[in-house]
């Protein structure tokens, strides 16, 4: 496990993202499956809480000893996922209310504050996730640039798919992969992950011409946005910089040439053609990316053709 993926337990009595409502809240009649309206008592109730940070994802485990209202407001940078473990919550926001029970989760990624009212004895897991992290994983899964829409979404999710009781066994990648898989299975998938068109135009242009020399201004003109916007969108949608994508495209171009039966150029010539200059730099970058040297790729490709 990488150092940055290790679980870090945070002890705090403050609510960084979730603000308790100090006043009584009356819910609409029938909001909690036909029950009479719930009322949330004011005052500082005792609450059990453990926060665990894994990479950039924060897991907030909550035990609500009394009925409690928690308000959450998403931002451009951070979204939240409410996962009931026991009991249930009534979600109030966007002019409507609904009940959230174990087996379902709520992605809070819209533009409005929502209030979750947890009945006494409820347990919940609240995830605080960078929007960019979800977008980078979804872009990798779809194979093109995606962004996370600014909407809230109910979707099927179990706590086991996100986090075990043993925090040491969890990784940021596992949490994000399972979260994106669950969101993709939602009926709202088509609107949840729209194509990031400006980024994809630049990506397509780079991959179609990987060995050409690009400036950020050239690519921004192709994408139809400013250079600053393109840099920011690359980082938040793909999880990499423009320079890193160009490097990746060139390395993949070299590999395709090495595996081609019609390619006669030497590794040194391919290195120069791809903009790496001396083959030493190509060798280091190539091995870091593919786990083998260019010579090993060419040898393996030759043997497979001969066999």
Based on the fold, state whether residues 140 and 274 are members of the same structural domain: no
Based on the fold, state whether residues 182 and 219 are members of the same structural domain: no
Q: How many domains does the chain have?
A: 2
Based on the fold, state whether residues 177 and 213 are members of the same structural domain: no
Based on the fold, state whether residues 185 and 237 are members of the same structural domain: no
Q: Could you give the angle at the alpha carbon of 11 between the alpha carbons of 17 and 161, nearest 5°?
A: 65
CATH number, domain containing residue 94: 2.60.120.10
CATH number, domain containing residue 259: 1.10.10.60
Based on the fold, state whether residues 146 and 212 are members of the same structural domain: no
Domain boundary at 192, 224, 246, which? 192
Count of H-run helices and E-run strands, the chain: 10, 12
Based on the fold, state whether residues 180 and 222 are members of the same structural domain: no
Dist. CA 294–CA 284, nearest whole Å = 10
pLDDT, position 26:
43
pLDDT, position 81:
97
Q: What is the DSSP string of 215-239?
A: -HHHHHHHHTS-HHHHHHHHHHHHS
pTM: 0.79
> Which residues lie below 8 Å from residue 228, measured CB to CB, with a gap of 6+?
none
Based on the fold, state whether residues 7 and 62 are members of the same structural domain: yes
Strand runs labelled E in the chain: 7-10, 18-20, 48-54, 57-64, 68-72, 78-86, 89-93, 96-100, 103-108, 114-118, 122-130, 153-157
The pair of structure tokens assigned to 141 is: 């899964």
Domain boundary at 192, 224, 255, which? 192
69: Cα within 13 Å, side-chain hemisphere: 20
Domain that holds residue 18: 3-192
> Which residues lie below 8 Å from residue 126, measured CB to CB, with a gap of 6+?
17, 18, 59, 60, 62, 70, 72, 80, 81, 82, 83
Based on the fold, state whether residues 181 and 249 are members of the same structural domain: no
pLDDT, position 14:
32
What is the chain's pLDDT, residue by residue, as a tens digit (307 residues)? Answer: 443 444 434 433 333 344 444 333 444 434 444 443 433 333 344 448 889 899 999 999 999 999 999 999 999 999 999 999 999 999 998 888 999 999 999 999 999 999 999 999 999 999 999 999 999 999 999 999 999 999 999 999 987 777 654 555 568 999 999 999 999 999 999 999 999 999 999 999 999 999 888 889 999 999 999 999 999 999 999 999 999 999 999 999 999 999 998 889 999 999 999 988 877 889 999 999 999 999 999 998 888 777 6
């Amino acid at each position: 496990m990488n150092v940055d993926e290790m679980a870090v337990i945070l002890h705090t009595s403050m609510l960084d993202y979730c603000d308790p409502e100090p006043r009584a809240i009356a819910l609409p009649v029938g909001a909690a499956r036909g029950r009479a309206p719930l009322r949330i008592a004011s005052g500082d109730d005792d609450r059990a809480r453990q926060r665990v940070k894994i990479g950039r994802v924060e897991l907030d485990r909550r035990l609500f000893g009394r009925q409690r209202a928690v308000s959450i407001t998403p931002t451009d940078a951070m979204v939240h996922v409410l996962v009931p473990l026991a009991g249930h919550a009534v979600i109030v926001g966007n002019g409507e209310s609904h009940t959230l029970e174990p087996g379902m989760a709520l992605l809070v990624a819209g533009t409005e504050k929502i209030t979750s009212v947890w009945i006494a004895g409820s347990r919940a897991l609240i995830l605080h996730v960078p929007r960019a992290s979800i977008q980078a994983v979804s872009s990798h899964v779809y194979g093109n640039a995606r962004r996370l829409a600014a909407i809230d979404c109910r979707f099927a999710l179990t706590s086991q798919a996100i986090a075990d009781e043993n925090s040491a066994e969890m990784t940021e990648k596992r949490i994000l992969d399972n979260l994106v898989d669950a969101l993709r299975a939602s009926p709202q998938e088509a609107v949840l992950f729209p194509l990031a068109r400006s980024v994809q135009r630049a990506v397509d242009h780079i991959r179609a011409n990987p060995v050409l020399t690009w400036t950020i201004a050239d690519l921004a003109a192709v994408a139809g946005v400013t250079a600053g916007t393109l840099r920011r969108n690359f980082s938040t949608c793909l999880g990499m910089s423009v320079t890193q994508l160009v490097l990746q495209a060139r390395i993949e171009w070299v590999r395709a040439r090495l595996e081609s039966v019609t390619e006669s150029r030497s590794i040194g010539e391919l290195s120069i053609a791809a903009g790496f200059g001396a083959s030493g730099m190509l060798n280091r970058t190539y091995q870091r990316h593919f786990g083998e040297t260019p010579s090993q790729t060419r040898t393996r490709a030759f043997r497979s053709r001969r066999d």
